[in-house]
Amino acid sequence: MDIPPSCSLLDLLKKSELEATKGIAVAINQTVIPRAVWKDQLVQEHDSITIIQATQGG
């Protein structure tokens, strides 16, 4: 995915249609980013982004 300069994590998640998804956690370069700072966290070109979605079951 192409990431424009000065793209926030929230912008990236909106582009991927994931911003409203409940139960997800996002890490950039192996550091979990709290949802409260997604709008301020800038994503860089070579960042490693991991998105994890909680599931129920047993």
Its pTM stands at: 0.83
H helices then E strands: how many in the chain?
1, 5
Displacement of CA 50 from its chain's centroid (Å) = 7
Domains and CATH numbers, the chain: 7-53 (3.10.20.30)
Tokens, residue 42: 């800038």
Q: What percent of the chain has pLDDT over 90?
A: 66
Q: What is the mean pLDDT of residues 31-46?
A: 95
